[in-house]
Homo-oligomer: A and B are copies of this chain.
Amino acid sequence: MSSSTKDRILDAAECLFAQHGFEGTSLRAVTSEADVNLASVNYHFGNKIGLFQAIFERRVGHINDARLEQLDRLQSRGLPPSLEELLEAFVGPALRLTSREGEGFESFMRLVGRMSTVSGQHAEVIRDVFRDVQERFFPAFMQALPHLSAPEVFWRLHFLIGSMCSYLADPCRLELISQGHCRSDDPEESLRQLVAFAAGALRGPSALPHPTTPASKESHP
């Protein structure tokens, strides 16, 4: 047997969840793809959402560790990290592990991207799992972007995560809509494009020169 039942279920499930979504994937499809008995899912993971959670627990450590390790390395030097270095540490592992760890990780990242737009309990699972990364990176970005206020940094990081997740959700879509102008099979090229995009986005001037009273005007012109 090449791998354990548990792992085969996880592999099949993360692939199918990424393709068809959580509700769009039946446990029968998972166990059939994994070539295990239907009841194994409930035996090993309790229920369907337990399986969903286990998928994240298996993968998310690697990517978060890689991010934080890279951030540690940057911060252990004397001078504060540059914006590009921070971006590399934040989005690099997400894009690179995709190709280094085999197609399993690719499916997982597609799943992350896909689940980034849902709400409800699935969204909470994901938010919880990335919370500590966010809390470590946010102050670092704040320091690297002294021209932006805290809310503005939040806004832009939020948009940045949206860009990244949209790309992760389906890297091939760019090839489609660009009618072949863009290739998406090279993670280094993707990373370069995303970092360039994000660096410009974060470095751009503040949207409000003087963020005074938020509710100043009530008039309708």
Contacts and interface: CB of A to CB of B under 8 A. Distances in A.
A120 B20 contact: yes
Interface SS, A side: helix
A114 interface: yes
A107 B173 CA distance: 24
A221 to B, nearest CB: 12
Interface in A65-119: 113-114, 116-119
> Which of A156, A169, A186, A197 is most buried by chain B, counting CB atoms within 10 A of its CB?
A197
Contacts of A166: 116-117, 158-159, 161-163, 165-166
A142 to B, nearest CB: 11
Given A119-B19, A166-B117, A196 B206 contact: yes
8 contacts: A22-B24, A119-B170, A134-B177, A154-B174, A156-B193, A159-B167, A159-B193, A192-B207
